[in-house]
Chain A
Amino acid sequence: MAEKTLMKGNEALAEGAVRAGCRFFAGYPITPQNEVPEYMSWRLPQEGGFFIQAESEVAAINMLFGAASTGIRVMTSSSSPGISLKQEGISYCAGADLPIFYANVVRGGPGLGNIAPAQSDYFQATRGGGHGDYRVFVMAPNSVSEMANFPKRCYDVAFKYRVPSMILADGILGQMMEPVEFDFEPVDPSSFPEPDWAIGGDASGRERRVVKSYDLRPGRLEEWNKERAKRFERIEAEEVDWDGEGLDDCELLITSYGSCSRISKSAVKMAREDGLPVGLLRPITLYPFPKKAYQDLAKRVKNILVVEMSLGQFIEDVQLSVLGKVPIHFHGRPAGGIPTAEEIYDIVRKIMGK
């Protein structure tokens, strides 16, 4: 692979999307994700793609809805308040089975909150976010390299199952710089066959097509929703991803996702240096959630410690996975509070009585 380059998380995310075939970006300024639209504004034209700064987040997501309907790879990004505004359009994309990709570089909330890193949009991301029965394929990178490499996976899943996909990042991942190594060769989207649902362009020689999320005929929308739910079942069966360390012999399992998992990893390291059997499970996909990994570990570990940068959202998926089989402890820092490895390790010692 090519040599490493030092990149900012937001820029790596944008470059990763372009290399994964993104050719349309609509966005709106909001901190801490501004480098994404800034980067796209000069980078996309180089690839024959198109960048537009929309009049609002609402307009941006609806531009995406239109662009995605033509069958191309599209992207938008924002931060928490802006992602709330985009939920309308995301729901329409889900309802019309349009594959889209977006990123939430999460900041402190609720409301205007602050611009510091946070993980308080977990519910919104993993439960769909907008109205209606649907989910979004959610990936949670924990390094700048993953910010660069995950968009490709998001597009692949979005197009395979015709669902929205997203990256749930935060201010740390967006703003930090790290060496980046791409684990895939740039994709040439002109080599993709046009999807058989895409509208626009020259339609001679094919039936006319309609992209829509509504069906007012009795019972038909129910059937359609059930068909979509089958696709989500397949996603849950086939697209789960996670990693971990110290899982073979750990008695206490720390679990965190995203940038927070890096801090937890430091705490695990401190514990291991002191000879304490502590491990880390880090979900890479938040939807689908790695339920089975937790269920398997719940048979062996004595305690689970959930660490997240919110007051308790991710923890609910852990609880739903282990169903009371193991005591679950919690350490959450909301609204820009970033836990330190030391404070996590203090809790670990308390739980283990050391």
Chain B
Amino acid sequence: MYQGIIIAGFGGQGVVSMGILLAYAGMVDGKYVTFFPAYGAEMRGGTANCSVIISTDEIAAPVVGQPDSVVVMNEPSFSKFEPMLKPGGRLFINSSLVSSRSKRDDIEVIEIPVNKIAEEIGTLKIANMVMAGALIKHTGAIASEAVVKSLPKVYKRAKPEILKLNEVAVKRGAEY
């Protein structure tokens, strides 16, 4: 199994923290992982993206050229990353914010209103966790228990009730 994932969105949508969580959970799950953020001036413009690789084999190239999965949390990310997706890959769309629809017929598209679901659970802040749940479900890259186990490790300063909400969000996303 090899999954090269690109996650993109606005700064503040938890794009980087979602990437770190997935990498951490992959490690907990016994996989090889790498995480690479877009950094510096690139991240000052209000958009953020990062790449994560999860693999059962040792990871050679640590950069994702052609992603197996792309997560687009906002509209600008759609136009930038949708064309990069590998044929047969998966496109995860935050349908609460992204109105564009892919015209490609060689990919699988998963649309999830993560903002709406997150607000239903209690806070918009966990929209990224809903998306994380959907991603691990569809790709099968990481066991969902590993993600739940990793939450308190990655969000060391989070209060227990917030961690609980994150856990619920991951589970709701996995139902999608």
Which residues in A have some Cβ–Cβ distance to B below 8 Å? 4, 6, 31-32, 115, 143, 171-172, 175-179, 259, 262-263, 265-266, 269, 338, 340-342
A175 & B63 in contact (Cβ 8 Å cutoff): no
B-side contacts of A4, CB under 8 Å: 27
Of chain B, the residue at the smallest CB distance from A107 is B40
* B118 CB within 8 Å of chain A: no
B40 & A31 in contact (Cβ 8 Å cutoff): yes
B39 & A115 in contact (Cβ 8 Å cutoff): yes
Alpha-carbon gap, A116 to B87, bound state (A): 28
Q: Which of B32, B40, B59, B66 contacts A32 (CB 8 A)?
A: B40
B60 & A269 in contact (Cβ 8 Å cutoff): yes
| A177-B40 contact given A4-B27, A341-B60, CB 8 Å threshold | no
A178 & B34 in contact (Cβ 8 Å cutoff): yes
A179 & B61 in contact (Cβ 8 Å cutoff): no
Alpha-carbon gap, A340 to B4, bound state (A): 14
* B11 CB within 8 Å of chain A: no
Of chain A, the residue at the smallest CB distance from B52 is A177
- Other CB < 8 Å A-B pairs besides A4-B27, A269-B60, A340-B63, 4 of them? A175-B37, A176-B34, A179-B27, A341-B60
Give the B interface residue count (CB, 8 A).
20
Q: List 22 A-B contacts (CB under 8 A).
A: A6-B20, A6-B24, A6-B33, A6-B35, A31-B40, A31-B41, A32-B39, A115-B39, A115-B40, A143-B62, A177-B20, A177-B34, A178-B34, A178-B35, A259-B62, A262-B60, A262-B61, A262-B62, A263-B63, A340-B61, A340-B63, A342-B65
Q: Which residues B59-79 have CB closer than 8 A to chain A?
A: 59-63, 65-66
Alpha-carbon gap, A176 to B20, bound state (A): 10
| A263-B27 contact given A115-B39, A176-B34, CB 8 Å threshold | no
B39 & A340 in contact (Cβ 8 Å cutoff): no
B39 & A341 in contact (Cβ 8 Å cutoff): no
Alpha-carbon gap, A177 to B65, bound state (A): 17
B41 & A176 in contact (Cβ 8 Å cutoff): no
A-side contacts of B60, CB under 8 Å: 262-263, 265-266, 269, 341
A-side contacts of B35, CB under 8 Å: 6, 176-178
A176 & B24 in contact (Cβ 8 Å cutoff): no
B-side contacts of A179, CB under 8 Å: 27, 32-33
Of chain B, the residue at the smallest CB distance from A4 is B27
* B169 CB within 8 Å of chain A: no
A275 → B minimal CB distance (Å): 18
- Closest 4 A/B residue pairs (Cβ): A265-B60, A266-B60, A177-B35, A115-B40
* B36 CB within 8 Å of chain A: yes
A-side contacts of B66, CB under 8 Å: 342
| A263-B34 contact given A32-B40, A115-B39, A175-B39, CB 8 Å threshold | no
Of chain B, the residue at the smallest CB distance from A261 is B60
A176 & B27 in contact (Cβ 8 Å cutoff): no
Interface centre among B20, B41, B59, B63 (most CB of A within 10 A): B63
Q: Which residues B1-59 have CB closer than 8 A to chain A?
A: 20, 23-24, 27, 32-37, 39-41, 59
Of chain B, the residue at the smallest CB distance from A179 is B27
Alpha-carbon gap, A259 to B61, bound state (A): 8
B69 → A minimal CB distance (Å): 18
Of chain A, the residue at the smallest CB distance from B63 is A338
B13 → A minimal CB distance (Å): 19
A-side contacts of B62, CB under 8 Å: 143, 172, 176, 178, 259, 262
| A341-B41 contact given A6-B20, A176-B34, CB 8 Å threshold | no
B61 & A171 in contact (Cβ 8 Å cutoff): no
A171 & B33 in contact (Cβ 8 Å cutoff): no
B-side contacts of A259, CB under 8 Å: 62
B-side contacts of A6, CB under 8 Å: 20, 23-24, 27, 33, 35
B7 → A minimal CB distance (Å): 14
A-side contacts of B36, CB under 8 Å: 172, 175-177
B-side contacts of A143, CB under 8 Å: 62
B33 & A178 in contact (Cβ 8 Å cutoff): yes
B169 → A minimal CB distance (Å): 21
A-side contacts of B34, CB under 8 Å: 176-178
A190 → B minimal CB distance (Å): 30
B-side contacts of A175, CB under 8 Å: 36-37, 39
B134 → A minimal CB distance (Å): 22
